[in-house]
Structure 1
Amino acid sequence: MSDLLSNATKDGGSVECLGLTFPSDDARREHFLNLLAEKLRDPAFRAQEGFPVGTDEAILAMSDPPYYTACPNPWLAEFVRHYGHPYDPAEKYAREPMAIDVSEGKTDPLYRAHSYHTKVPHLAIVPSILHYTEPGDIVLDGFAGSGMTGVAAQWCGTAPATYRHKLEMEWKKAGTPAPKWGARRVVLNDLSPAATFISANNNLPFLADAYEESGKRLLAELWTSIRWMYETLHSDGKTLGRIEYTVWSEAFICPSCNGENVFLDAEKVSYEGQRDRIRCSSCGAEARKEEMALAQVQFLEDGQVQWRPKRVAVSIFYKIGSKVFEKKPDQIDLEVLKRIDELEIPENFPHVAFRSSKTFNEGRMRTTNTRNTRSIFLPRAAHAIAKIWALAEGEHDKKLRMNLLYSIEQAIISMSVFNRYRPTGYSQFGQHLTGVFYVGSQHAECTPWYILEGKFGRVEKAFQTFRTKFGNAIVSTGSSTALPCPDGTIDYVFVDPPFGFNIFYADLNNIVEAWHRVISEVGGEAVIDDYAGKDIHVYQRLIRGCFLEFFRVLKPGRWMTVVFSNSQAKVWNAIQVALQEAGFVVAEVTTLDKKQGSFKQVTSTNAVKQDLIISAYKPNGGLEQRLAERGAAPESAWDFVQTHLRQLSVSKSKDGVLEFVVERDPRRIYDRMIAWFVRHDVPVPLSTEEFLDGLRSRFSERDGMVFLPDQIPEYERKRAQAAQPPQMEMFVADERSAIDWLTDFLRKRPSTYQEVHPEFTTQLGAGWKKHETRPELSALLEDNFLRYDASGEVPSQIHNYLSTNFHDLRNLEKSDPRLRAKAKDRWFVPDPNKAQDLETKREKALLKEFDEYRTAPGRRLKEFRLEVLRAGFKSSWAARDFKTIIAIAQKVPEEALQEDEKLLFWYDSALTRMEANA
């Protein structure tokens, strides 16, 4: 393996790359650039999914092969084979889901070296990589963004002693073995060339030693070239200052007199309980900004008359020495601005029209006629960014050129009209809204020096301490639905995928990509976008395609971590269903609090308010083979349970409080087993009650959770150290969760209808699902539980409760009249044998009602029972009647279907089978 790039370049020493030796790194680069140029001329190579839009020259200019290509990386498979180790079924590998607290680092210099729309801090990823992998293992991030997973993988080998000691102490306190330090190798892939360019700079050797000096040289050359644009006269009438930023304001037309009012200069009038109103400087009339039309300026563009909002310079902030001053633009300033306005747009300034999408066609983007890459810059900013970009592109050292552009591209948005003026802000650059494009009425036009002068120094310091090596990372640009990676070669997957309509990455990256002249191929972007005809179904299909690839390349028995951030239940369910259909088995869901860096246990029924962390595994090959041999036999179900329980956390605690491991809940295990069988197109061999009864007889249960016998000692040790047993949080939102709540309640406290009714009523809050029929308590009790009628002996469950909680009933026989009288009319949970009888009776009733849904007139079901739909879909699947599932699903409101994971799973699986059989 080569040494650091900086050393190799300085010393002129030979470098090794994928088994080949080159006299220098420049020779390595030239060799692979020539090979990439040949591949780019091949139409089949360019036909790959997610191939970006750009010329051969532009793609080659961005790339540093074989470690980074601004297109699908043709050396990715070779990299994995060269540095990875083949899957060995005999190799012992066992991990529980990541369950310890993590500290994150949003203030870490590496995290702040380059901004991105969303990213998980690398210090929040490091513990997961240490937990699931060994030094030298290969980690994959198929939605790499700015490459924080790669930074985390390499940080495992470069972390300072203070960080290592802190983490080791935390793990020791949690009873976790010490991590094995050492860099892991990483494969980073993203659809966006802008993202992969950042990833490449973050993860490949950085020329830190020459970087700051070169950046300052560029700024000095820029000043020499265009200083006349950024000089202003001080109040003494003779000293020239350098402008830091200029404040611009839109002008609005008074609806009463058509007078023009500059927004920032206009008088604002406040009234209690109302938004501020603008008082016209001409006639004194008052109006809200929304009631006033934008003043416009017309101009010629590409031979056509266009318009933009009229913007007026109202303040100039400038520096003399180390002091900053403010002034109103004087006549000389206005003449300079007029002179700049008359100049031709620089030749290298990209002219790319924005596509029709939610990002570019709504809100202030539409009302300000912001329609292409040129319309977001004022003339002076356009000349400045074009000039410094050209200066950086003129740097003869390829690696240094990439490093310089890495920082310069961050100035693009801060120099655009998206950068709002905030009078109370500590700094005026970086004031754009994140995750969207928004054109404010007041704009701070920042200079390159104001943005970049300190930036070059901060970035250099960050990379002085984080030194990477070639061979640790490879970066590819393309779709994660078609990774050029061999089967079963990846040791761990960590992904932070796009989440529906929260963030439109391709749009947000479009402006920077226009400067690189390599644009994302948006057809394969997993988003929900009405403009592009992409609904939740398209989104789920694309995400499933990516998860299928991750499943294919991951070694059997290994893990994937998915970070999820979306407040909509339907997107959350789409992710979970896509995971299961791809073949993954979910073992745990936790939350990542990015502000505090802590993990907390949650259930999937919670509203999604924080970033969720899904831990899922690819079952080992032995389980797959045994299922193929046995088919739909009960032994196959118990084989799955045996394997699944081995993958789950034995115990979880937070601040000394033992937590309920949701995935060990019997019904959750049953759901996972069903998904496993459906994924393999094998009939489910056991009914719910048969399965639950089998669990009780084959496995151990503690505190409502199921364990393997050899896991019990460890759990009981943890249980003995806790002040109280773990409590499962229950959220009653539909009939199934209402039954579960009643089961938990009556098992602890067998009660009469009058006793349980007020307790039950308090559970039926605002969280009840919109289209779900609210069942009567009496019907739920009658269908799912037993009532003691005072004949015969008092059931053991009621006897235990009464003798424990009533002093006068202690030590009485089960046939004692006093005990029978107190026990009369109490509802209790049936024993397994009677529970099966009730379940059979209940299922018949549910399927009868499902037939009524099937024959009901009309195109929609306004109200329904989810339990009926779930039972009907399950029965139809067993009969391979996929058409019925699809037909009934189309009668269900889209919102209800998408927000119920079980219904969505059956429906999507039926669609997949129908498509496969077509």
Structure 2
Amino acid sequence: MAQEEQLFMDIPEGNEEGQQKQKRRRFGLTKERLDRVRQIEGFPIAKDEDIINLSDPPYYTACPNPFIEDFIKEHGKPYDPDNDDYRRQPFAADVSEGKNDPIYNAHSYHTKVPHRAIMRYILHYTEPGDIVFDGFCGTGMTGVAASLCGDRKAVESLGYRVLDDGTILDEKGRPFSKLGARKAILIDLSPAATFIAYNYNTPVDVQAFEREARRILEEVERECGWMYETQHVVGGKVQKGAKGSPIMGKINYTVWSDVFICPHCSAELVFWEVAVDKEEGKVRDEFPCPHCGADLTKRTLERATERVYDRDIGQTVTRARQVPVLINYSVGNKRYEKKPDEYDLDLIRKIEESEIPYWYPTDRMPEGYNTEQPKVSHGITHVHHFYTRRNLWVLALVLNMAKALPLKLLLIWLTSSLIRTTKMYKFTLDRKMGTVSGTLYIPSLWTENSPLKLLKYKLLDFCKVRYPEKGYVLVETTSATNTSIPKNYIDYIFTDPPFGGNLMYSELNFLWEAWLRVFTNNKPEAVENKAQGKGPREYQELMEKCFAEYYRVLKPGRWMTVVFHNSQNRIWNAIQEAIMRAGFVIADVRTLDKKQGTFKQVTSTTAVKQDLVISAYKPNGGLEKRFHLEAGTEEGVWDFVRTHLKQLPVFVEKNGKAEVIAERQNFLLYDRMVAFHVQRGVAVPMGAAEFYAGLKQRFPERDGMYFLPDQVNEYDKKRLSVREFEQLSLFVIDEKSAIQWLRSELEKKPQTYQEIHPKFLRELHKARHEKLPELSELLEQNFLKDDYGRWYVPDPGRQSDLEKMREKALLKEFEEYKEGRGRLKVFRTEALRAGFKACWAAKDYKTIVEVARRIPDTVLQEDTTLLMYYDNALMRLDE
């Protein structure tokens, strides 16, 4: 084996110094190796020496990892289409995992999926030794989960049983997986995220870490402990010790308050003194000015400011005036509280005037969405402004000592306390303090925590973490739009990507990265952010690039799980479109019920009030090859349907009830078939009625769902074992959902207009732009009436005739939209869908784009069908 292919073989045991020399020689992140990856998208913003110092190659680099191909060569299994027998249905079981775990709690981050939940997916979809990939890894929980799949106790803690031969049985005693660690490749654009991920996923000598951390704390206490001392005061009197000197307490935290100016008398007002009701434990919305008696609210106050010279940047700056108002301290094991006295104020002045003898970051905060509030409200423009002088001093000293040691975990131990020691830590009267999640916000009352105390607590958390025994995870800092992973080498993808403007990761991570001296290159950051010039279109384009890369590296026939956190329909649709545009086929979508912590199946593409979990697969090469020959033909349609049905769950049970599998219903099968054709630039060869009729002819139907012949027996057997069948609920928001709802009602029994009308109105939640036909017109265009005046669902032949008549009427209305000018404010969405479909078949991409640009952008972004035709038409016009 060539030396390059031996990079990831274990280093021979020997003396520690010899091992380190071997490692540096073999894995050294030299300038030459940096030059090899410098042009890769997502290369961070930093000096080469800082990237090298932060990295720990080959398993972690704070830049694109030049050793990733070697990792793949050693641990990956190339895709062999001739001998590939991989088969999995989408993971459709309920998942409920809490966040109370040392791994979860040791270091905060903006979003985290508990590793125990991810383990269930990895065990379901993979075998020991498989490679799992996460291109938006955050703190690396996917890697943690992959490694722990080889830990018997961790697997058994999920409620599974592990046999002596490593076979894993589910809760019902059925074998479904094998015990054994999986390998993982983790990628994130943020150096802060990848550094956290690396530390969670690398072997650690916990005893050595604890020993060094405690030594650091002792030295910091000796040098800086005096900064957090206060005189013990009882009843307004300083308490004396045995020798007559003041008894000194250790400060746990100091509360600071904004100062405002009364708009009526111009007197200064300390917010703590005028607005906080200490007896009732609340902040009053209205309060009188103690000087002039005017009724005030916080909104009517002007902020008091002060001009000070900032020696770190050599400029005089204007900042919000803030004063300490409460000190919480300990004497022995007892806690006390006091108002700051002259001793405390003199101490703060003395520290403010002192030079800090260690390096600390003084970078200017970037222009952005999250960074504006601190700048505008408090004049906080640079990183060091977020900290008091004494907190800055302690953190700088800890950093100085930690960087001198080879234990990288000491650095992440420091960063775990960087946010809670800032002015963003909000004080609340119930003492349940914390930062405002997902933003950089300076409150009017904030808590100056003692870093020494926080670091002691965090040390306990990090010592409880279960670190891997071997290096199974490779981490790199780069963009998910362009990786160095070879094609068709990844066995499974679990990913939790950014969603629209939910979180501005590069802004939120800036504080951490300033201390680490390596910053996110936000050019390829998939986010909606005005400061970066990125809106919905730019976000979707970046996500499409990421999912296209996911598609490239994933083996055919394998699965991807996407966790989605956003309540906006347009972002949900953009994600779906990006996934399908990349070539994936969505097979299952479930919502995360936050109250219960479980997953439920989604029945409507607009149901995004809760978090979602999307299961999608990459079609195997056989289907793609056949489709290339059969594209645009009837046989191509049914080949896709057969392949898709094979990938769907056969039976889903919850609490003794059988659930409808939404993806097996005719209308969703039709939507997936249409999307598969359009994404590949092929005309759809049949309409919905013809498709529904073909389904009935070719596939067994049970409970409104369609199965392959070899699946229906399994369904029938399991269906007998449950007591009830849980129907899906549908809401009427447009013409398409109205027809689906009417069909489901009339399939139960024929009904008169008078019977169905009140039920229809109860379910009606029409969108404002929707030109929805009257119920009588919907019935006449899509259903038949018997001699008793009852409407019923026609047989497939009659249904096809009705659809042709309806489509003719829809296309006539589309012609009116096409010939018109100006914005379309109220319209029949079904007419647009029919028109876009006809234009697609005629390759009239220009008309699709022109009409789409005349409807509200929010409507276009929130309708998956319109968006699909528009995006693909736009792409073909640009070719």
Would the TM-score normalized by the shorter structure come out above 0.5? yes
Aligned pair partner of 2:110 in 112, 117, 120:
117
Deviations 1:40-72 (A, max 9, x none): 2x2x63121011100011101110001000001
1:572 aligned residue: 572
1:16-27 superposed matches below 5 A: 17-19=7-9, 21=11, 24-27=18-21
Aligned pair partner of 1:886 in 845, 849, 858:
849
Shift of 1:225: 1.6
CA contact (8 A) 1:244 1:449 kept: no
1:906 aligned residue: 869
Could you tell me how far apart the structure 1 residues matched to 2:71 and 2:421 are?
39
Aligned pair partner of 2:272 in 231, 241, 264:
264
Could you tell me how far apart the structure 2 residues matched to 1:164 and 1:501 are?
36
In the alignment, residue 255 of structure 2 is paired with which amino acid?
V
SS in 1 for 2:370: helix
Could you tell me how far apart the structure 1 residues matched to 2:578 and 2:502 are?
18
SS in 2 for 1:79: helix
In the alignment, residue 60 of structure 2 is paired with which amino acid?
Y
CA contact (8 A) 1:36 1:65 kept: no
Matched-pair identity in %? 47
Structure 1 pair 621/177, CA: closer, same or farther in 2 (3 Å)?
same
Could you tell me how far apart the structure 2 residues matched to 1:522 and 1:187 are?
21
2:235 aligned residue: none
1:99 aligned residue: 92
- Higher mean C-alpha displacement, 16-25 vs 570-579: 16-25
1:454 aligned residue: 457
Alignment pair present for 1:334 and 2:341:
no
1:36 aligned residue: 30
Shift of 1:786: 1.5
Alignment pair present for 1:416 and 2:379:
no
Aligned pair partner of 2:188 in 184, 187, 190:
190
1:739-778 superposed matches below 5 A: 739-764=739-764, 767-778=765-776
Could you tell me how far apart the structure 2 residues matched to 1:416 and 1:732 are?
49
1:235-384 superposed matches below 5 A: 235-237=238-240, 238-266=246-274, 276-301=285-310, 302-344=313-355, 348-361=359-372, 363=373, 365-384=375-394
CA contact (8 A) 1:122 1:151 kept: yes
CA contact (8 A) 1:589 1:604 kept: no
For structure 1, the 5+ residue unaligned runs are 2-14, 791-822
Shift of 1:844: 1.4
Alignment pair present for 1:836 and 2:845:
no
Could you tell me how far apart the structure 2 residues matched to 1:298 and 1:784 are?
73
1:388 aligned residue: 398
1:449-488 superposed matches below 5 A: 449-463=452-466, 466-470=467-471, 472-488=472-488
SS in 2 for 1:94: coil
Shift of 1:267: 5.5
1:795 aligned residue: none
CA contact (8 A) 1:753 1:827 kept: yes
Could you tell me how far apart the structure 1 residues matched to 2:649 and 2:67 are?
38
CA contact (8 A) 2:811 2:835 kept: yes
1:553 aligned residue: 553
CA contact (8 A) 1:268 1:277 kept: no
Could you tell me how far apart the structure 2 residues matched to 1:736 and 1:654 are?
29
1:147 aligned residue: 140
1:820 aligned residue: none
CA contact (8 A) 2:28 2:57 kept: no
Instruction: Using structure 2 for the length normalisation, give the TM-score.
Output: 0.94
Aligned pair partner of 1:432 in 427, 432, 435:
435
In the alignment, residue 500 of structure 2 is paired with which amino acid?
G
Alignment pair present for 1:73 and 2:65:
yes
CA RMSD of aligned residues (A): 2.2
SS in 1 for 2:566: coil
CA contact (8 A) 1:657 1:722 kept: yes
Shift of 1:347: 5.3
Could you tell me how far apart the structure 1 residues matched to 2:96 and 2:178 are?
18
CA contact (8 A) 2:526 2:543 kept: yes
In the alignment, residue 584 of structure 1 is paired with which amino acid?
F
Shift of 1:216: 1.3
1:817 aligned residue: none
- Higher mean C-alpha displacement, 860-869 vs 603-612: 603-612
CA contact (8 A) 1:104 1:121 kept: yes
Instruction: Using structure 1 for the length normalisation, give the TM-score.
Output: 0.90
CA contact (8 A) 1:244 1:450 kept: yes
Deviations 1:766-804 (A, max 9, x none): x3222111211111111111123x4xxxxxxxxxxxxxx
Structure 1 pair 616/829, CA: closer, same or farther in 2 (3 Å)?
same
Could you tell me how far apart the structure 2 residues matched to 1:165 and 1:862 are?
52
Shift of 1:731: 1.3
SS in 2 for 1:519: coil
SS in 2 for 1:692: helix
Shift of 1:584: 0.4
Structure 1 pair 258/727, CA: closer, same or farther in 2 (3 Å)?
same
2:75 aligned residue: 83
CA contact (8 A) 2:7 2:27 kept: no
SS in 1 for 2:724: coil
The count of residues paired between Structure 1 and Structure 2 equals 852
2:128 aligned residue: 135
- Higher mean C-alpha displacement, 560-569 vs 840-849: 840-849
SS in 2 for 1:561: strand
2:860 aligned residue: 897
Deviations 1:481-502 (A, max 9, x none): 0011000000000000001111
2:691 aligned residue: 691
Aligned pair partner of 2:837 in 874, 890, 903:
874
CA contact (8 A) 1:104 1:594 kept: no
Deviations 1:336-355 (A, max 9, x none): 11111112455512121122
Deviations 1:97-151 (A, max 9, x none): 1012224140011111211111000001111000000001000001000000100
SS in 2 for 1:248: strand
SS in 2 for 1:188: strand
CA contact (8 A) 2:116 2:158 kept: no
CA contact (8 A) 2:258 2:320 kept: yes
Shift of 1:328: 2.1
- Higher mean C-alpha displacement, 489-498 vs 296-305: 296-305
CA contact (8 A) 2:275 2:285 kept: no
In the alignment, residue 28 of structure 2 is paired with which amino acid?
N
Structure 1 pair 838/64, CA: closer, same or farther in 2 (3 Å)?
same
Structure 1 pair 115/28, CA: closer, same or farther in 2 (3 Å)?
farther
1:805 aligned residue: none
Shift of 1:21: 4.2
For structure 2, the 5+ residue unaligned runs are 163-167, 233-237, 241-245
1:811 aligned residue: none
Could you tell me how far apart the structure 2 residues matched to 1:556 and 1:461 are?
39
Could you tell me how far apart the structure 2 residues matched to 1:658 and 1:690 are?
29
Shift of 1:599: 1.9
Structure 1 pair 33/312, CA: closer, same or farther in 2 (3 Å)?
farther
Structure 1 pair 570/174, CA: closer, same or farther in 2 (3 Å)?
farther
Could you tell me how far apart the structure 2 residues matched to 1:495 and 1:525 are?
15
Shift of 1:33: 5.4
Deviations 1:200-237 (A, max 9, x none): 00001122121122111111111122223222222314
Could you tell me how far apart the structure 2 residues matched to 1:420 and 1:164 are?
36
Shift of 1:607: 3.0
1:693-708 superposed matches below 5 A: 693-708=693-708
Shift of 1:609: 2.4
SS in 2 for 1:166: coil
- Higher mean C-alpha displacement, 133-142 vs 747-756: 747-756
Shift of 1:364: 5.2
Deviations 1:450-495 (A, max 9, x none): 10112212211223xx43312x100010100001100000000000
